[in-house]
Structure 1
Amino acid sequence: MMKFKITQNIAILFLAVFLLSFTTAHKFYVSVTNMVYSEKNTSFQITSRIFIDDLEEVLKERYGINAKLATEDEAKIADEYIEKYIRAKFTIELNGEITDYDFLGKEYDNDVMICYMEVTNIDISDLKSITVQNEILTDLFEEQQNIVHLKWKGKKKSFVLIKENNKGMLNL
């Protein structure tokens, strides 16, 4: 498996372009996920930023849902299908075993949806590796890139995950 290395400056540049594009129609496909370990809560706190229009398109294509996200007419079943889709496309492995996470909810920021997730009760004494697989929107958009920033006890690693290379690993 070919690994993509990305410098912190390039990651910041990607994030800046992503954040500055909120008010215009985007011509690229990217999501940004941040995973930060909280020693206080012994958990990974996860936020994922996804363009609303892209997510609406995938919900319509996969499930036949006209979600109307971020509007007064948002479908009542939208949250259920958003969670279902994210669980199918975003996985975390601790020491090579898939780990369950809580989907805490979502909110909107301009034309981006922010999803909140958490992996709780992590036994850090036994943790040797963390693997993230992110296939969000790659089933609909060939150009989709999913940037993942992982912070754990002073270690930072960033991955650019694409359809052909959808996993990133941090060995501890």
Structure 2
Amino acid sequence: MHLLNTKFVTLFLVFTLFGLSNKGKHPLHVSTTEVNFNSKDKTLEISSRIFSDDFEAILGKLYKQKTDLANPALKTQMDALVRKYMLSHLQVKANGKPVSLNYIGFEIDHEATNIYMEAEKISSLKSAEVSSTILYDMFDDQMSIVHLVKGATRKSSKILYPDKSFSANF
């Protein structure tokens, strides 16, 4: 029970810090990814949340171009960069098999960027695995919080650089 309370407190602190408004650099390098099994539509709904300043910095560094995720005039260009980055830094397996991720889009939410993807034709979910290297090419103290959700069952973990994956059975 103590371990569960410790995990809850850790997740609470991370999300509290993640939601704080701060004009300067934030002290925490964290991303969150949630994979939700939609049994009705037979899909995995995937959302990732990354601090926008860090995300813009890595996109600019890797793809050698100006980035501004909040600029509507650059939306098409930014969509291409976000898609390319996410598909190369986030992999999902369902029932032990890699799934093809479809990029849906992104939106800015205060200081964070929310990215949405999905995997189709997932008839059932007995196990899931997420492999994330989001921002690993920028920070060696990067933390990824991963949530795997099937119905009322939610399994969560933090992945600390250089570790990359979390898996769970349902």
TM-score range, shorter chain: 0.7 to 0.9
What does 1:1-172 align with in structure 2 at a 5 Å threshold?
A: 7-20=7-20, 22-25=21-24, 26-72=26-72, 74=74, 76-124=76-124, 127-172=125-170
Gaps of at least 5 residues in structure 1 are: none
Aligned length: 165
Give 3-state SS (helix, strand or coil) of 1:41's partner.
coil
Superposition deviation, residue 86 in structure 1 = 0.5
> Partners of 2:76 and 2:135 in 1: how far apart?
22
Give 3-state SS (helix, strand or coil) of 1:74's partner.
helix
How high is the sequence identity, in percent, across the aligned residues? 29
Q: 1:103 to 1:97 in 2, by over 3 A?
A: same
Give 3-state SS (helix, strand or coil) of 1:31's partner.
strand
Give 3-state SS (helix, strand or coil) of 2:137's partner.
coil
Superposition deviation, residue 11 in structure 1 = 1.7
Q: Which moved more, 1:36-45 or 1:89-98?
A: 36-45
**Structure-1-length-normalised TM-score:** 0.86
Superposition deviation, residue 18 in structure 1 = 0.9
> Partners of 1:75 and 1:95 in 2: how far apart?
35
Query: Runs of at least 4 residues of structure 1 off by over 6 A?
Result: none
**Whose helix fraction is larger, Structure 1's or Structure 2's?**
2
Over aligned residue pairs, what C-alpha RMSD do you find?
1.9
> Partners of 1:134 and 1:30 in 2: how far apart?
12
Gaps of at least 5 residues in structure 2 are: none
Give 3-state SS (helix, strand or coil) of 1:68's partner.
coil
> Partners of 1:123 and 1:171 in 2: how far apart?
16
Superposition deviation, residue 76 in structure 1 = 4.3
